[in-house]
Amino acid sequence: MGVAAIIPCKDEADRIAATVRAVRGIDGVDLVVVVDDGSTDETAARAHDAGAHVVRHAENSGKAAALDTGVRFARARAAGGVGSAMAWHYLFVDGDLEESASAVGVLVPPVLTGEADMTIATLPPQKVSGGGHGFVVRLARDGIRELTGFEAAQPLSGMRCLSDAAFDAASPLARGWGVEVGLTVDVVRAGLTVLEVPCELHHRVTGSDWRGQLHRAKQYRDALRALRARGLSPRTVGRAARGS
């Protein structure tokens, strides 16, 4: 089993090269795939120059679609006999982590050794505080707890390492920004092991301006869709909205 790092991103030209270089240096990573999800800047070119394989979406299709594209690319290379690995574990990495992306390496060993089927990074307090009120996090945490009994410290964390079997258990992925909660619910329900791992990562924090509020609204919408599709009760939705 090799490790294929999948980096979904959009308009990250200023950060993607540093992220790719950091991920390429992680022990066990055999393949780095950047999925440029409809960027209008030089993200693809800079990722390629930094040593990544690049797959481009002509139009923005969302995070879940980008992750799926990256996994299909990795599987196609394995099936074609490119490299030594004929099957993969997958390391999902956000494109804006820059040099701190090297820290996601701690997610790999528990999956390689079979201790966990999916690891999730828990991040320290960020250098800049966000502008949200915790509605999306509460919804995600309460929903995961109701549906699986799993208590997620950071249910929206996108940095994960998972086995091929775990990815299949969660396929098709929940749409858009619901992908993280969908992954957790589906993997736990499949009887597989999920482990949260502290990880010294720093990324761009969503602010309190209108763009940040719009992003959080989309996160809430997609997380709610994913949880409802998996049987979330209306009571939990109301409780999360009230902040109780």
Mean pLDDT, contiguous 10-residue spans, the chain (244 residues): 94 97 96 97 98 97 95 88 66 95 96 97 68 76 95 95 97 94 98 95 62 78 94 76 56
pLDDT of residue 46: 98
Residue-range domain boundaries for the chain? 2-127+154-206
CA-to-CA distance for 199 and 209, rounded, in angstroms?
Answer: 28
Fold of 2-127+154-206: Spore Coat Polysaccharide Biosynthesis Protein SpsA; Chain A (3.90.550)
191: tokens are 């009887």
pLDDT of residue 131: 46
Q: Of how many residues is the chain composed?
A: 244
pLDDT of residue 243: 57
CA-to-CA distance for 35 and 92, rounded, in angstroms?
Answer: 11
pLDDT of residue 240: 57
Closest to 186 in 3D by CA, of 117, 91, 235, 122: 117
CA-to-CA distance for 189 and 202, rounded, in angstroms?
Answer: 30
Bridge partners of residue 239, in order along the sequence: none
Cβ neighbours of residue 161 closer than 8 Å, sequence gap 6 or more: 3, 89, 90, 91, 92, 104, 107, 108, 110, 111, 118, 119
Closest to 26 in 3D by CA, of 53, 6, 54, 47: 6
Pairing verdict, β 194-198 and 160-162: unpaired
- The Cα-based distances of 52 to 1, 24, 82, 148, 163 in angstroms read 20, 8, 15, 36, 21
